[in-house]
Structure 1
Amino acid sequence: MTVVGLRTAWELRVRSCLDLELVRPDRKTLVRSRLFGKRVQTKVNLREAPSKHAQRVVEKLR
């Protein structure tokens, strides 16, 4: 059995293997990774795409 399997077995037998996090730690990174939803055929669409993604990142950051 692997370590993960062993911990799962212990957890099922009511033996805690991980500490309970009552407060979430602050995030130190923010990632927004996307591909184009459809084929980009014009320069205008190519210029708009990064600004739309940046807008979504700012929303996430808030």
Structure 2
Amino acid sequence: MRAVVYNGRNDISIDDVAEPKAGEGEVKLQVGYNGICGSDLHEYFAGPIFIPQDDVHPLTGASSR
């Protein structure tokens, strides 16, 4: 599936990532629409502010370190 991936300040990309599968007790939703808000713009231009930097992304396995 295609996903917008935040790579760091002023750096996003559209990448192919593995489609997640719902585990036990989880649901998977199909997104109809999405948007961005002011905090997203702050994260893009001045970040990282809110995105944790020590975690591994659950879909891509990428680390921001």
**TM-score normalized with structure 2 length:** 0.19
| Bigger relative contact order, structure 1 or 2 (CA pairs below 8 A, ≥6 apart) | 2
Larger helix share, 1 or 2? 1
Larger strand share, 1 or 2? 2
Which structure would you say has the larger Rg? 1
